[in-house]
Structure 1
Amino acid sequence: MSHILKVVLLAGEYLNEEYGSRFYTKTQNIRRVLTKAYDNAFNDYDFIIMPTAPFKAYKLPPKDVSMKGT
């Protein structure tokens, strides 16, 4: 596994231990509201232009890169 993936997994485990399912529950609570808003928007329009990241994707580091290199 890459270093970044390990950091993401550790952060996810930490958040799960400290906060449980609090954030998941919040997202599920607003899911219906967001879905309804998108459905209403698509009743009037065929597509919606959403903002994107204002930069190009980073190049993947080589497999033997150190943690400092990432």
Structure 2
Amino acid sequence: MFHNPIDSEIYIGSSNISRGALTSYIEWNYRFLKSNAPNEKFYEFQDKLEALIMKSINWLFKVLLNEGFS
């Protein structure tokens, strides 16, 4: 997610730097601009993405602290 005074944008996708990604896999990316979407849709997407990121971070901390998988 990137924010500036003029616009905001979110990039989401599957691209990575792996052998498969660079040779044979299908990789995708999506750029979501606030200026191209109704504000409520952009903020809804942003909120869901931030919640997913926080859930992933919390899961990672549990694993690192040996509290198990859930």
* TM-score past 0.5 threshold: no
Flag the structure with higher strand content: 2
Larger Rg: 1
Superposition TM-score tier, normalisation by shorter sequence:
0.3 to 0.5
Q: TM-score, normalization: structure 2?
A: 0.33
- Which structure has more RCO (C-alpha within 8 Å, separation ≥ 6)? 1
Q: TM-score, normalization: structure 1?
A: 0.33
Flag the structure with higher helix content: 1
